[in-house]
Amino acid sequence: MPHQDFPRSLRLLNAGEYRHVFDHASLKVHGKGLLALACNNALGHPRVGMVFSKKTVRRAVDRNRLKRLVRESIRHQQHRLPDVDIIVLARRGVHELDNDTLHRQLHGMWRRLEKDVRKQSTSLS
């Protein structure tokens, strides 16, 4: 059984890493209330960062709940995700969705991201 933890190596840690993804995002995956930007990396594993602004998600408890759900989703799907850096952005109204809906949204976004990366790599070769 693969490891199911969320170590520092799976996270975008500093502003430079976030800036790189924002500047070079070759993939965009939309979900209901969420957007994921992704660009390839050469690390051999995915990394994720989250941007849930106070303007978009007012209450801290809602921002923390979203972060917890994204981390849990990545933790369970890390072995299936391609080698990309991902930034998950919140859109207005995402805090109104329940946990099950968010979990399904994230799972669908990771599947679409996996498919898009596969499609992109076959078109490049």
C-alpha pair distances (Å), 57 with each of 33, 63, 71, 72: 11, 6, 17, 19
**Distance from C-alpha of 10 to C-alpha of 45, rounded to nearest angstrom:** 7
Mean pLDDT of 10-26: 94
Please name the residues in contact with 118: beta carbons below 8 A apart, sequence gap of 6 or more. Answer: 82
Tokens of 1: 């059984």
pLDDT, tens only, 51-100: 999 999 999 999 999 999 999 999 998 888 999 999 999 999 999 999 99
pTM over 0.85: yes
